[in-house]
Structure 1
Amino acid sequence: MALLKAHPSSGPCLAVLACTSLLTLIGLAGRQGRAGCAEHVRKFLEWPTLRAIHEVRAACTDDGDALAASSDLRSAPWCVNDPDARAWAARYAELRGVNLGGWLLMERWLVGGNAYVNTTCCGRVESPYNGTACSTATSELTLTIELRARGELSKIDVFRDAYVTQGDFALLRARGVNSVRLPIGYWIVDPAVLPRDVGFHQGAGLRHVDDAVRWAGASGLSVVLELHGAPGGQSGAQTTGSQDHAWTPSSFNASASVEILRTLAQRYAAAQNVIALGLVNEPELPVDTLLPFYEKAIRAIREHMPASRVAVVINLFSERGLLAIATDAWRVFNVQLTPARGFANIIFDLHIYYAFLPQQLADTSLATVTGTLVWVQSLLTQVTGRPVFVGEWSLRLPGWGTAVGDEFGALTPSAQNATLQRFATNQIRGISRAARSDVQPRLGGAFWSWNAPVLSAVRGPGCVSGEQAQWGYNVSLNRGWIVPSQWSAPSHVAERDTDSDTEAETETH
């Protein structure tokens, strides 16, 4: 995770943007004689270095304002004529969301290796990973296997019932949030979709999603459902629910993933506050696998959720490059999956993190990362050719042992707080501040995550360590890094919708 979810080991990505080409997409005409913005952006995409960042700033900034959004990027055309997507983007132009991460897919780093986790309802609750000596359970699947062998699967149920409750939704709305992104492991929907699985624990399963949709509606929150862990895995990362270093793209089960999405679409079709459904989180899959899957998944969703109301979300992600929007996959996507062929209301989702910088930026200063680099990324969200929201962002900075982490660690506590306050302000402006020059709306996004990891009382390989509070929205508010009014907007849910029933509620309540 770095910048647009790049990894420290990532090499330079292909400088081919979705739709046509970089220079066609963002235009060649400079503002006030500043020709060359587009060329410098292209160079940055190919090889992100500190020098490239400063060249983009010099070529693309007006009047020295590092957060101005005026440049020749303003001439970028929309690549696809998608009236439903335009209307959806206008309707949800202020997505001020938070991820409920770690709940329905227990990412080990987020809730694992700790003696407890903090909850709104019940104070400190024991993590189901507690007692696994930190390193033995690497993901939810291996945790489940261990707990089943010990006859302690109830730990997962106790955790899920406490980690997110109705009180969390009310508190989020009270603090200005108007949307939640809900990451879901496929086993929550159907644990038997892969018969050869050694077995995830479904527990209450879709009852949790039913509750989340209902509680969100009652609190005036919209919901973005998102398939976070797909059958067979969309990568080998523990964020899929099953860490597997031997994973290959052939393990991904596209047909089963389509059926999971179809089930979600059918079950929540009547829930007016479910505004979007994400196809898969951070896939490390080749184009010839992704595009057929997307096509089938979109068709399955549209059997139940109309394009006039619900967006289908495509996560732009490339494990091997800095910017997913600079890969051939999305150029092909925008050519092949267009409204003319029945694929309306497609929204792009970018994950923007600064915690793990590529090697080329290893010596970047703290001020550059939290200021200029944020501004550069806000420019790049403008060139996808479709409406974009940032499905994941945080205040996490590179950790100890990096130039940025060491510089931050040397600051006084008050200076650290001031730095994080500026970092938050810059990011919020960058992903949600609409400028006159914007062609594509900056819709906002969802902070990752509602609760931050708690430091482990146990030390050892795989234990959560270091400053993790920067991952938590709740902590960020409590410590003053984010002011509630900065990340707030009116409710997306009309009063008449708060009592809407879903098929799921009819079945389970």
Structure 2
Amino acid sequence: MSRSSNNRKQPLDYGTAAAIRDLCVHQAWHAVNLASGVPSDARCDAEAMNESIERLEHLSTRAIEHAKELASSCAWHAALQRMEEGYLGSGRVPAASPFSSSDAAAEAIEPLKVVHRTLAPSNGDLYELASGAAWYAANERSGLEDESAASLVSMCRAFERLYRLQRRPWRGVNLGGWLLLERGPSAPFYEANGIVGDDGEWDATEALSRDGGSGAVTALAYHRQRHFREGDLAEIARRGFNSVRLPFGYWIVTGPTHGDPYVGPSIELIDAAVEWAARHGLQVLLDLHGNPGGETEEKVCGRAKPDWSWEDWRRDEALEVIALLADRYKEYDHVTGLQVCNEPSRSCPPSELLAHYIEAVATVREAGMPPERVSVVCPCYFLEEDRRDFLKEWREACAAGELDGAVLDMHPYFFTPWSNEVTRGLVSDQAREEAESWDLLPACVVGEFSAAFHTYQGEPCCDRSAEGRQLLNDFLRVQQDAYSQHATHGHFYWTWSDGAVGCGRAPVLRVALGASLEVLYGLLSSRDRRAEWIGRVGVGPGAVERWIGGSQSPASDPALLRPPPRRESDAWQGPAVEALPWG
């Protein structure tokens, strides 16, 4: 299948697209600063414009002039209109303006909308980029925050269309509970090994390693070898999904550091998942779900640590893990995303978290994963004022070219009292409203969502009747429609299999999530894992030896040690998924 469609030309190379974007942004601020009476800043903008033009010297003179004229006309149209409305300057047209009014600038734009063939894959993209940049600067200086955000979104999305290889948005599922334990999706492991509590892989590993035994190594090796297999990915593809999100802890990549009790490395299992995905036409989003030191006080990063602080997160080490991953998988065209962390603590300073994300994006690019193909996924987990502040700074960094190819990760969950229908209204309406708010984000993906929710009575939806299952089905369809419309890069269901039994979240996950999977996917998984575990697993080496035929380590399985294929493929496109995957 071709990488271009709908009569769309091949995209520009990223460097050319970035130079055009920077030209438009600097031209926009040049016009705004002149209209606002700030000539010193305008001079700096003019110097930056010239540097951007120098980066376009490989284009023809005609193409460069076209880009310059379009950027200038759009910039002056926005600046002069805001000036005429009383938002900017004294109301007098600056002497340096090539136009006498905003109407004159608008008139000059019209013939420039048909772009030179070397400048853009389609006529509208370059105009939307230049216009978005112009109105972003004019609205930002005018103090019109919502209008500024909307203009920046238009600019960023047009910019991405200029250079990004065309692929369908992710429509996938998570492979949760495999390479980072969580009690719900990893329930068979917890039950078979008699582990009580729900505090993450750290505590589970310590519980199995007491008295200096090797129980953790043995049990985790078996779990990792068996929890997901190639048949699962084959089934995922067969049911119409085009991608998987693969969560794992840093210790899977490098082994544990700083005395952490985790068991690893097991990177050959990531290799195996990448190979399986290639065989079945699935894209892969690699998800560094558990960072060195943890990115949160919550167990989802591998350890529940109530006294966790921002300084505990070993961010420099995390960047090293990210660099290793990017370098290892940079040649696989179906690995289309790398997520730098998962649900970072809301106590993180927003500005410092953004700085880490900017470093992570640069790390991925320097390691060889290009923005044309690979999205760098960065979670936004803040609420209210911190969320507003973070998103404002995120948009500014996007305009500055520091986050090219970066995507915000959203997790719209509705299974806890904060989203109950008594105080928040119908849960389906909540999901729609949340999704609509993403229209002011340059790019986003729903990394996790589920069918679990609280009813109007404020209780988890645990109705096993036909009516109850229909409620779950309807809620999931509402989410899928809303997220497909408003999440630019798609969505992933949490998770492909879940069996929360005997833990705190069981009322929600076992019934609401589990039942929805039975209804909508037709199965919880491709086999009955609970029966397999309870019947065959023990913490002693004997059970593992019988399974692998006497070998001391499941990692010795040659099929898993074989590296993924380094080949070109159309796997990144995935199967057609315009219809709901569940029928």
TM-score, normalised on structure 1? 0.67
Residue of 490, 498, 508 corresponding to 1:452 = 498
| Equivalent position of 1:468 in the other structure | 509
SS of the residue 1:183 aligns to: strand
Residue of 78, 83, 91 corresponding to 2:152 = 78
| Equivalent position of 2:374 in the other structure | 310
Q: Select the structure that is richer in helix.
A: 2
| Equivalent position of 1:183 in the other structure | 247
Residue of 449, 456, 479 corresponding to 1:427 = 479
Deviation at 1:454, TM superposition (A): 3.8
Q: How does 1:475-494 map onto structure 2 within 5 Å? A: 476-480=516-520
Q: Is the 8 A contact 1:89 1:387 kept in 2?
A: no
Q: Is the 8 A contact 1:93 1:442 kept in 2?
A: no
Which structure exhibits the higher relative contact order, with contacts defined as CA atoms closer than 8 Å and separated by 6 or more residues?
A: 1
| Equivalent position of 2:263 in the other structure | 201
| Equivalent position of 1:155 in the other structure | 219
Amino acid at match of 1:330: L
Amino acid at match of 1:186: Y
Residue of 151, 159, 172 corresponding to 1:97 = 172
CA distance in 1, matches of 2:343, 2:464: 36
CA distance in 2, matches of 1:212, 1:258: 22
> How has the CA–CA distance of structure 1 residues 445 and 172 changed in structure 2, closer, same or farther, with 3 Å as cutoff?
same
Q: Is the 8 A contact 1:448 1:471 kept in 2?
A: no
> How has the CA–CA distance of structure 1 residues 257 and 470 changed in structure 2, closer, same or farther, with 3 Å as cutoff?
farther
Amino acid at match of 2:186: V
> How has the CA–CA distance of structure 1 residues 238 and 342 changed in structure 2, closer, same or farther, with 3 Å as cutoff?
closer
| Equivalent position of 1:10 in the other structure | none
Residue of 319, 336, 348 corresponding to 1:258 = 319
> How has the CA–CA distance of structure 1 residues 88 and 374 changed in structure 2, closer, same or farther, with 3 Å as cutoff?
farther
| Equivalent position of 2:439 in the other structure | 382
Q: Is the 8 A contact 1:357 1:398 kept in 2?
A: yes
CA distance in 2, matches of 1:393, 1:234: 20
RMSD between superposed Cα atoms in Å: 3.2
Residue of 283, 292, 307 corresponding to 1:246 = 307
Deviation at 1:258, TM superposition (A): 0.5
> How has the CA–CA distance of structure 1 residues 132 and 256 changed in structure 2, closer, same or farther, with 3 Å as cutoff?
same
Instruction: Determine if the alignment matches structure 1 residue 398 to structure 2 residue 454.
Output: yes
Q: How does 1:4-19 map onto structure 2 within 5 Å? A: none
Deviations 1:80-115 (A, max 9, x none): 536563468883443211011111111134324xxx
| Equivalent position of 1:487 in the other structure | none
Instruction: Determine if the alignment matches structure 1 residue 346 to structure 2 residue 406.
Output: yes
Deviation at 1:271, TM superposition (A): 0.8
Amino acid at match of 1:77: S
> How has the CA–CA distance of structure 1 residues 336 and 311 changed in structure 2, closer, same or farther, with 3 Å as cutoff?
same
Deviation at 1:283, TM superposition (A): 0.9
Q: Is the 8 A contact 1:89 1:443 kept in 2?
A: no
SS of the residue 2:160 aligns to: helix
Deviation at 1:482, TM superposition (A): 8.3
SS of the residue 2:171 aligns to: strand
Amino acid at match of 2:328: R
Amino acid at match of 1:476: S
CA distance in 1, matches of 2:263, 2:512: 26
Q: Is the 8 A contact 2:435 2:482 kept in 1?
A: yes
Amino acid at match of 2:432: W
Deviation at 1:422, TM superposition (A): 1.1
CA distance in 2, matches of 1:176, 1:347: 24
Q: How does 1:22-421 map onto structure 2 within 5 Å? A: 76-79=150-153, 81=156, 85-86=160-161, 91-112=166-187, 116=188, 127-128=189-190, 130-135=192-197, 138-149=199-210, 150-152=213-215, 153-192=217-256, 194-197=257-260, 199-202=261-264, 205-284=266-345, 285-303=348-366, 304-318=368-382, 321=383, 326-338=387-399, 340-358=400-418, 361=420, 363-364=422-423, 368-384=425-441, 386-398=442-454, 403-405=457-459, 408-409=461-462, 413-421=465-473
Deviations 1:242-301 (A, max 9, x none): 111111111011100100100000000011100011111111121243122122211111
CA distance in 1, matches of 2:520, 2:385: 31
CA distance in 1, matches of 2:434, 2:303: 31
Bigger radius of gyration: 2
Amino acid at match of 2:496: W
Deviation at 1:412, TM superposition (A): 6.8
Deviation at 1:342, TM superposition (A): 4.8
Deviations 1:195-239 (A, max 9, x none): 232x21015x11111011110011000001111111111111110
Amino acid at match of 1:100: L
Q: Is the 8 A contact 2:172 2:242 kept in 1?
A: yes
Amino acid at match of 2:447: G
SS of the residue 2:245 aligns to: strand
Deviation at 1:499, TM superposition (A): 9.2
CA distance in 2, matches of 1:102, 1:196: 23
CA distance in 2, matches of 1:144, 1:217: 32
Amino acid at match of 1:187: W
Q: Is the 8 A contact 1:281 1:315 kept in 2?
A: yes
> How has the CA–CA distance of structure 1 residues 185 and 471 changed in structure 2, closer, same or farther, with 3 Å as cutoff?
farther
Amino acid at match of 1:405: E
SS of the residue 1:110 aligns to: coil
Q: Is the 8 A contact 1:96 1:177 kept in 2?
A: yes
Amino acid at match of 1:78: L
CA distance in 2, matches of 1:383, 1:499: 31
Amino acid at match of 1:391: G
> How has the CA–CA distance of structure 1 residues 90 and 264 changed in structure 2, closer, same or farther, with 3 Å as cutoff?
closer
> How has the CA–CA distance of structure 1 residues 446 and 454 changed in structure 2, closer, same or farther, with 3 Å as cutoff?
same
Q: Is the 8 A contact 2:397 2:403 kept in 1?
A: no
> How has the CA–CA distance of structure 1 residues 322 and 455 changed in structure 2, closer, same or farther, with 3 Å as cutoff?
farther
> How has the CA–CA distance of structure 1 residues 243 and 237 changed in structure 2, closer, same or farther, with 3 Å as cutoff?
same
Amino acid at match of 2:466: S
Deviation at 1:191, TM superposition (A): 1.9
Identity %: 25
Amino acid at match of 1:358: W
Q: Is the 8 A contact 1:370 1:422 kept in 2?
A: no
SS of the residue 1:76 aligns to: helix
> How has the CA–CA distance of structure 1 residues 383 and 105 changed in structure 2, closer, same or farther, with 3 Å as cutoff?
same
CA distance in 1, matches of 2:571, 2:380: 34
Q: Is the 8 A contact 1:295 1:337 kept in 2?
A: no
